[in-house]
Structure 1
Amino acid sequence: MSAFSIGIVSLGAAVVVLNGKNKDYPVAVWMMTATLACYGVFMLFRGVHTLSGPEIVSFMEADIVQKLAFLSSIFLIVALSFSMLWMINARQVEAIYALSYFDPLTNLRNRRALDRHTDSLEGTSEKLTKKQCVIMLDIDRFKLINDRFGHVSGDQVIRSVAQQIKRTSGVSKSIYRYGGDEFIVVLENQNLARALSVQSQCVNEY
């Protein structure tokens, strides 16, 4: 009965890993899922085989299915270990990327991300021929807000303005927090009229 229990638990774990809410590295997730699923199916097969087969007196005299159970357990441990290390490494890389290119207060891309975007346009004539409109916005009298109400309130204002710019511009992936209270919106393949319209909407909302 232990083989059936292990098989059911392994298959359940495979379903949990596959349907997890965290968007982990797909290769690691599929490797872990496949390993758990294969092990679960094998243990169920082993349980059926054990019930229908002769009683096991000695492990050394057992048939190939019982001996493979030991080897499959070792394979499970090794495969899961590699998958976990792979997944942890992918999460660390993603965290480093987020710290490097995203502003933690507003979750917008930061100045380094903007520099990377502009660097990617240099020397590429095909990209340079596209119309690029840049809108720069800042918060009027923001220093007065910090001085009068404190930096915590100032942070709340920055987050609120960032959300409003996201909502009105419609290009959340092209909004950058350039400085303390400065934001830059990059519009690709848009004319000046569209840029002025977006700027007007952002200012009016604020």
Structure 2
Amino acid sequence: MSRTSGSVAGAPLVDALPLGREIFKHAGTVSTLDRARLLRQRPSTVWLTGLSGAGKSTLAYEMERRLLARGSLSFVLDGDNLRHHLNRDLGFSARDRQENIRRAAEVASLMNEAGLIVFSALISPRREDRAMARTIVGESRFVEVHMSADLTVCESRDPKGLYAKARAGLISEFTGVSAPYEEPEAPALRLDAGRLTLEQAADELMNVLHGLGVLQ
């Protein structure tokens, strides 16, 4: 029997190869706790969600820089970068978006196992998909952060010219224009990206990570 990892409108998302008797899980002698102690941090995934142009990647890289300066090791999983490599075979249908999120969450989970703090910067417009990511990463490690910005603010920035192309009909299923965005109902932090400076947003997120015990 094949395994599937989710569905969209009742259709299986991924037709995974069946696991036979020849495939086993192997446990190492170094635990995640050992790695966390070495790095003096609590492995977590900070999931930054919001419209294109809300500043997710900008904040993620600023946080990575700040954590490095204080001696904490983190890594940014940027949605665009993943689509250049691991997820280059995926489009932007609901099915492909869900698989995009699943793969990103699996990578984040592995990085957490390695002891790292991960900043995942993806639009991830559907609550269902973000809930899946939370399940994959684990409730205790998942920190959802909503980069909240009005569509007009994001369009005024439009650093990649994507909104203009979407308005012209050159990009289909573009979040905020021709595809919906479902805001998080109870994120760990909601940042008004249209009002806060990068420094202010990073300060607020640092405070939350300290409060949650991710940073000591």
Fold agreement, TM-score > 0.5: no
Higher Rg: 1
TM-score range, shorter chain: under 0.3
Bigger relative CO (Cα 8 Å, ≥ 6 apart): 2
TM-score computed with the length of structure 2 as normaliser:
0.23
- From the two aligned structures, give the one with the greater strand fraction: 2
TM-score, normalisation: structure 1: 0.23
